[in-house]
């Protein structure tokens, strides 16, 4: 079974845990995928990082009136249910908000990163795949030590080109638009 939070687990064990979490959440997501060191195929993993695009829907439907009684983030609703039944636990000092949930699953740290506007999947997925040293190069403007052209910036999980959010539905779109070379996750350092 998993090591305690703060320890590391073998890649295959981390992958299995990630897939278990995906199974718990897949029906409340428009999209969900594994990022971080699991995606980079590291031998050992310190945490499970998943990028999620939450599904939204009516919290309750009144059949007699033919209307919903509240629009809800189904992902966040499920996370709170899983916290309530003990499947997930909170990490001390880490938030459980709309865009990020820092949790523990079966003794392993779990980070859920949600893609909510203006954020774009391609930017968040690339960023959360990391690692930090790689991100410092590809998400920071050249004038600040990175490689991003001056007319582009990354903010709130989105690429802005001349102040307008660029459409980056896939990670490759980010690299195509910025002109930066794409590296497979296992080759990023």
For the chain, domains (ranges, CATH) are: 9-114 (3.30.460.10), 124-187 (3.30.210)
SS3 content of the chain, % helix, strand, coil (to 5): 35, 30, 35
pLDDT, residue 2, reads: 47
Mean pLDDT by 10 residues, the chain (189 residues): 69 98 97 98 97 86 65 92 98 94 97 98 98 96 96 98 98 97 95
Which strand (E) or helix (H) includes residue 172? helix 171-178
Which pTM was predicted? 0.91
pLDDT, residue 7, reads: 85
Contact residues for 43 (Cβ-Cβ < 8 A; gap 6+): 10, 11
Spatial separation of the C-alpha atoms in residues 168 and 119, rounded to whole Å: 9
List the beta bridge partners of residue 51: 33, 113
As a whole number of Å, the CA-based R_g of the chain is: 18
pLDDT, residue 175, reads: 98
- The DSSP code sequence of 40-70 is TT-SEESEEEEEEEE-EEES-EETTTTEES-
pLDDT, residue 6, reads: 66
Contact residues for 113 (Cβ-Cβ < 8 A; gap 6+): 35, 49, 50, 51, 52, 99, 100, 124, 128
DSSP annotation of 81 reads H
**Do the Cβ atoms of 103 and 91 come closer than 8 Å?**
yes
pLDDT, residue 164, reads: 98
3-state secondary structure 9-38: EEHHHHHHHHHHHHHHHHHHEEEEEECHHH
pLDDT, residue 1, reads: 41
Using CA atoms, how far residue 20 sits from 23, 34, 75, 107, 135, in Å, is 5, 11, 15, 13, 28
Which strand (E) or helix (H) includes residue 39? helix 36-39
pLDDT, residue 47, reads: 96
């Amino acid at each position: 079974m998993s090591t305690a939070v703060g320890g590391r687990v073998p890649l295959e064990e981390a992958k299995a845990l990630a897939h278990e979490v995906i199974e718990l959440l897949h029906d409340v997501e428009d999209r969900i995928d594994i990022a971080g060191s699991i995606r980079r195929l590291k031998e050992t993993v310190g945490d499970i990082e998943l990028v999620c695009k939450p599904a939204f829907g009516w919290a309750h439907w009144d059949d007699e009136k033919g209307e919903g009684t509240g629009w809800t983030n189904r992902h966040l609703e499920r996370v709170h249910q899983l916290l309530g039944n003990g499947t997930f636990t909170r990490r001390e000092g880490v938030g459980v908000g709309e865009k990020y949930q820092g949790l523990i699953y079966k003794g392993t740290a779990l980070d859920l990163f949600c893609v909510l506007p203006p954020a774009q999947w391609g930017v968040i997925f690339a960023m959360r795949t990391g690692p930090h040293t790689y991100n410092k190069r590809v998400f920071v403007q050249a004038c600040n030590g990175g490689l991003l052209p001056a007319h582009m910036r990354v903010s709130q999980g989105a690429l802005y080109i001349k102040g307008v959010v660029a459409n980056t539905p896939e990670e490759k779109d980010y690299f195509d638009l910025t002109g930066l070379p794409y590296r497979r996750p296992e080759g990023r350092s």
